[in-house]
Amino acid sequence: MINYQITPKGEKYINNPQRNHNSQIRTNYFENLILIYMIVKNERYQSSKFKKYVIKSLNILNNEDCKPMNRGNYSIWKHHIDAAKQGLLQRQGILTENRDGTFSISDKKINDAYNKISNYVEIIEQPKPEFMEEYPPEKTTTTITRSVRDTALSNKVKEDRNCQCQICGTRLSIEGKGYAETHHIKPLGHDGPDIKANMLVLCPNHHVLFDYGEIAIFPEDCEAVVDKEHNKIFTFIPPAPKKEYVEYHYNKIYKK
């Protein structure tokens, strides 16, 4: 089961650094606030409930932005909040409207919603015990830090390459739709960029083998795929990633 909590970045943790000369609060500030409310509180968006949440939660706002709320001037914020809600609903498709007039986060856009607020929210995962004894084992809480990924770009790369593995050519189908995984050949955790030139489209098997450095693209020609004994096992299906990222994987992960 996955739970979310606000990151401990101090009492006033949401920043609005791009305020203009008229002290105008930016719409994306309120988009973040709405998504934090919906994800952490597990609440549907409803204007009246959200208003109470903001008023009671001044400790999550920075000092300057909480001043209007301290004076009770919610009307100053209302048009910004409405614009943020419409942006999440119409422009970004993150929200879906329910029959009762409330709004939920779209199942297809949950990653986008989390990515927008990942600086302010962390995932707390409590693993299930593998087996039960007479007394259940102790539980531990772990914090997962995720790199923000461009989900739309990843999906576009898979679509452009027909969800076909660039190593073995396999195209998996699930419920009539192609399935593949996007792999960053220079990992995001190694400061690899989240760009098309650093992405491969792979089947799950070859994704794992690349992750653990069991196979690699030979950087001299960016065509041969080699195993740990340096035997050529496949010819890479283009387009190839940028050579510097291929070399990084080959030297830092494959040869490690």
Residues 4-18: tens digit of each pLDDT: 777 765 345 565 555
Confidence of residue 47 (pLDDT cuts 50, 70, 90): confident
DSSP state of 212: T
Q: What is the pLDDT of residue 11?
A: 40
Residue 67 and residue 172 in one domain = no
Domain boundary among 103, 123, 143: 123
Q: What is the pTM of this model?
A: 0.46
- The whole-angstrom separation of Cα 17 and Cα 211 is 37
Residue with tokens 């029959």: 99
Q: What is the mean pLDDT of the chain?
A: 81
Q: Which candidate, 170, 193, 171, places its Cα nearest to that of 242? A: 193
Q: What is the pLDDT of residue 88?
A: 93
Residue 116 and residue 155 in one domain = no
Give the strand pairing for 216-217 and 199-202.
Answer: unpaired
Predicted confidence (pLDDT) per residue in 75-111, tens digit? 767 777 888 899 999 989 999 999 888 999 998 888 8
Residue 33 and residue 110 in one domain = yes
Residue 163 and residue 240 in one domain = yes
Among 15-24, 102-111, 134-143, 155-164, where is mean pLDDT lowest? 15-24
**Which residue segment(s) compose the domain that 248 sits in?**
151-254
Residue 113 and residue 160 in one domain = no
Q: Which segments within 48-193 are labelled E, that is strand?
A: 95-97, 103-105, 121-125, 142-144, 172-174, 177-179, 181-184
Integer-rounded Cα radius of gyration of the chain: 23
Residue 163 and residue 247 in one domain = yes
Domain boundary among 71, 106, 123: 123
Residue 155 and residue 80 in one domain = no
Residue 117 and residue 212 in one domain = no
Residue 105 and residue 161 in one domain = no
Residue 204 and residue 249 in one domain = yes
In contact, 92 and 8? CB cutoff 8 Å: no
Among 8-12, 59-63, 232-236, where is mean pLDDT lowest? 8-12
Q: How many domains does the chain have?
A: 2
Q: Which candidate, 183, 216, 218, places its Cα nearest to that of 199? A: 183
Residue 115 and residue 158 in one domain = no
